[in-house]
Amino acid sequence: MAPPDPAPRLAGEYVLPLRWDDDAGLPELAHYLARLSGWIDVTVVDGSPAERFAAHRAAWPFVRHVPPAVTGRNGKARGAMTGIRLARHDKVVIADDDVRYERRQLADVLDRLDRAALVRPQNVFVPTPWHARWDTGRTLVNRALGGDFSGTVALRAAALGEAGYDTDVLFENLELERTVRARGGRVDVASDVYVVRRPPEVRRFAEQRVRQAYDDFAQPLRLARELALLPMIGVLVGARRGASLAAVAVGVVALAAVGRARAGGRAQFRPTDCLWALPWMLERAVTVWIAVALRLRGGVRYRDTRIRRAATPLHLLRRRA
């Protein structure tokens, strides 16, 4: 266990939802949780099989370790909602198992919860293999268009209400944020708070491509723009409009550059990261149509189930609230 931190403990709860079938990353995560538990109260909501659950409990005696106690198709949302309900503090930080906070970042997001009901920090991949830089292209475009959804959020549990949020949707971070907004809570898109995230394995990265595209069913205008990409590219290629294709490519890179320039991003992202927005755009032009096909078949696969809804429209959540 890490030595006690001399600084005062942070008044918040750190909730880590996870489900592991492979414990290859157990020692590294155990080290991180030991450091984390010196700063803040930690609850790990573990949906792993029984053998893995027992191994995790033995490896993490310094955190509260519980199984999910909420129903729903989305395992991460079930874990997050369980942790929120068990939280010993009103201020709650939810983070995926690949997110790595430092104390100052935790303190920053918790302080911002004095002025907002939900805070959405920015993840930065460390290290940066090729597939992490590919996904960074998506990050920069999202930053230019209003803000990126990362693997961590912070919220005041009271702003969510007793009913919590829907755990049967795919885009759980957006569902959580919209539920807070529907109840009148202010959201702080904290693009200037950078939190390290470990890149996934290449296999996991590949599995996420269509699933991320499916999230756009929760954002109809974005979905329409992305559905138009492949036909547009096809028309320009068919008409041999090389200059027009080049102009589109320059526009995508320029958009990523705007995202890099925002909120101190030049210190976090390399100039060449903007170029990775091009392969990401081509990927999304294809995967969004695959997502449409999956929608027609009943939804996208999520472990041993299928999820049709990406997220609930904000106007419906406001009506229910």
- pLDDT tens digits, 53-66: 999 999 999 999 99
Per DSSP, the three-state class of 49 is coil
- Determine the average pLDDT of the residues in 25-31: 97
Per DSSP, the three-state class of 273 is helix
Q: What pLDDT score does 217 carry? A: 98
Q: How far apart are CA 168 and CA 309, in angstroms?
A: 8
What are the pLDDT digits (tens) for 275-294? 999 999 999 999 999 999 99
Q: How far apart are CA 64 and CA 75, in angstroms?
A: 19
The confidence band for 95, taking pLDDT boundaries of 50, 70 and 90, is very high
Is the confidence at residue 89, as pLDDT, over 90?
yes
Q: What pLDDT score does 5 carry? A: 54
Per-residue CA distances from 191 to 77, 136, 147, 279, 296 (Å): 23, 14, 7, 23, 35
DSSP 67-132: ---S--S-HHHHHHHHHHHH-SSSEEEEE-TTEE--HHHHHHHHHHTTT-SEEEEEEEESS--HHH
Q: How far apart are CA 79 and CA 20, in angstroms?
A: 13
Q: Are strands 187-197 and 41-46 parallel, antiparallel or unpaired?
A: unpaired
The confidence band for 158, taking pLDDT boundaries of 50, 70 and 90, is very high
Per DSSP, the three-state class of 302 is strand
What are the pLDDT digits (tens) for 306-320? 999 999 999 999 999
Strand partners, 301: 306
Domain boundaries, the chain: 13-201, 203-320
Is the confidence at residue 38, as pLDDT, over 90?
yes
- Determine the average pLDDT of the residues in 152-177: 96
Is the confidence at residue 258, as pLDDT, over 90?
yes
Q: Which residues of 246-275 are buried (b: 16+ CB within 10 A; e: fewer)?
A: eebeeebbebbbebbebbebeebbeeebbb
**Average pLDDT for the chain:** 96
> What global pTM score does this model have?
0.95
Is the confidence at residue 215, as pLDDT, over 70?
yes
Q: What pLDDT score does 208 carry? A: 95
Domain 13-201 has CATH 3.30.70.260: no
- Determine the average pLDDT of the residues in 208-232: 97
Q: How far apart are CA 77 and CA 84, in angstroms?
A: 10
